[in-house]
Structures are given as structure tokens and as C-alpha cells.
């Protein structure tokens, strides 16, 4: 059994309820910031899905209202004629040959990979490298598109790609502890709405099992799922 540090043990004593409404959870989470650096804020959404079933897989993307606070590195697998436009739009690296070489030798210096439908077959041989790292572009996540420049700009502004892991949990970073509470809440609601909207057709009954929030160095806080449906929650 792993040992709990004195710091985590103390922070855990500040979490006194089993579940918290969204606003109270965000306020509490911000107060748990205890490290010398600005921590990321994470959401871990457990869903009643079985990703092994083809009809219960979840993968999509959304643009967060206030971004993630992280500098997203976007790579563009594009024809030579589109390289300059991709770089101007914000891509950290662009091209086919250069990316094929980088990926083949395991040099993955990007967070998102975008490409066009025409070039997807060229990425097939790199699937064994990109797939396990969840970096393989797909139309559903918006990373296979004809509008490369627009998509790069969206990802740089805060577009977020997500997918469920093999246990049916979606893990997301949706801001920093330095964000104001309303910005974090609006980002969180955008995530909830997107996951709800993209509910797999094969799901019957309860969809959301639980949502836990934490920062990079804090214990987790469990959310009251009913608070997402509350009509009297006003966001400035």
C-alpha cells in the first residue's frame, strides 16, 4: 500500500463532504492549491460504458470557453504546399516527410496531430506508434479535416480532444488553479454538455457514474451530479 504524504493527508481533511455542488467544489479545489507552481485542474468522468463494445466508444472534441491554460503543441501532417500556412496558424511542426521521420524514431514533440483525409493512408504505417499514445487523427475528434488552418487555430485557442480509456473514464485538464471560479465552472459545464451530447447510442440507463475533480497536487473532490441540472446556477 502506497504511503500518503503529510501534505495530502492534511488537504484530505479539508474535504469534509462525500459530494459537492459544482460551485462549492471549484471554490474548495482552488483553496487546495499548495505547491509553488500553478497547478492544472483535472476532471475524471466515469461513464457507464464499455469501450470494448463498438457501439459504446466515446471520442470527440470541444472548444473550451476559456482554454486550458496550457500551450498546446499541434503538429500538421500536410502536403508541402500547405506547410507554411499550417506553421503561420500555430503548428509547431508541419509536413509529411519530416513528421514521418520524427514519429518513426519515437520523437513525439507534440500534443495533437492533424491531417487531411487524403493523407490518412500515409499515417497507417505509423498507427502502432500513434495509436497507443492516443495521437492518431480521426474524423470524429476533428483532427482529420480539410480545414487544417482553422482547426489548428481552434486547438491553440483551447479546443480539447477527449476519449474514454479502457475502463470507461474520460480524463481531462480544463484549466489552471489561477483561473477564476466562473471560468473553471464554464469550462466544466462545456465538458459535461459535450460528453452528454456525444452519448453513444448503445447506452441504456444511467450514463454518468461519477465526476471527480482534482488539481495536479491535490486529493480529489466528488461532484454532486444533480448540480449540473440545477436551474438556479448563474454564471457571470
Identify the pLDDT of residue 234. 46
Q: Is the pTM of this model over 0.85?
A: no
pLDDT at 158: 83
| pLDDT attached to residue 235 | 44
Would you give the DSSP letter of residue 235? -
Report CA torsion sign: 140, 145, 151, 155.
Answer: positive
Distances (CA, A) of 91 to 14, 87, 142, 171, 172: 42, 5, 16, 24, 22
Q: How far apart are CA 15 and CA 9, in angstroms?
A: 10
pLDDT at 185: 96
Closest CA to 218 of 33, 47, 14, 15: 33
CA torsion through residues 204, 172, 187, 29, sign: positive
Compute the mean pLDDT over every residue in the chain, rounded to the nearest whole number.
91
Can you list the residues of the chain whose pLDDT is less than 50? 1, 231-236
Per the document, the length of the chain is: 236
User: What's the pLDDT at 61?
Assistant: 87
How much is the pLDDT for 201?
86
Mind listing the domains of the chain with CATH numbers?
6-67+160-228 (3.30.190.20), 74-157 (3.40.50.790)
Which residues touch 65 (CB under 8 Å, ≥6 apart)?
158, 183, 186, 187, 190
Amino acid at each position: 500500500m502506497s504511503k500518503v504524504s503529510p501534505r495530502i493527508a492534511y488537504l484530505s481533511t479539508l474535504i469534509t463532504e462525500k459530494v459537492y455542488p459544482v460551485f462549492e467544489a471549484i471554490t474548495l479545489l482552488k483553496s487546495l492549491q499548495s505547491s509553488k507552481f500553478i497547478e492544472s485542474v483535472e476532471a475524471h468522468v466515469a461513464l457507464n460504458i464499455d469501450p470494448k463494445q463498438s457501439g459504446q466508444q466515446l471520442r470527440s472534441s470541444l472548444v473550451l470557453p476559456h482554454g486550458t491554460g496550457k500551450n498546446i503543441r499541434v503538429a500538421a501532417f500536410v502536403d508541402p504546399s500547405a506547410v507554411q500556412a499550417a506553421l503561420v496558424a500555430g503548428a509547431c511542426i508541419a509536413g509529411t516527410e519530416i513528421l514521418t521521420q520524427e514519429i518513426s524514431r519515437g520523437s513525439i514533440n507534440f500534443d495533437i496531430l492533424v491531417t487531411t483525409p487524403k493523407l490518412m493512408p500515409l499515417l497507417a504505417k505509423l498507427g502502432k506508434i500513434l495509436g497507443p499514445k492516443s495521437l492518431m487523427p480521426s474524423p470524429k475528434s476533428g483532427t482529420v479535416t480539410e480545414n487544417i488552418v482553422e482547426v489548428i487555430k481552434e486547438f491553440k485557442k483551447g479546443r480539447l480532444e477527449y476519449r474514454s480509456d479502457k475502463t470507461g473514464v474520460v480524463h481531462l485538464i480544463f484549466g489552471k488553479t489561477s483561473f477564476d471560479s466562473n471560468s473553471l465552472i464554464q469550462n466544466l459545464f462545456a465538458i459535461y454538455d459535450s460528453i452528454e451530447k456525444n452519448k453513444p447510442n448503445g447506452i441504456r440507463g444511467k450514463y454518468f457514474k461519477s465526476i471527480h475533480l482534482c488539481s495536479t497536487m491535490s486529493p480529489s473532490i466528488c461532484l454532486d451530479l444533480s448540480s449540473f441540472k440545477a436551474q438556479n446556477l448563474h454564471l457571470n
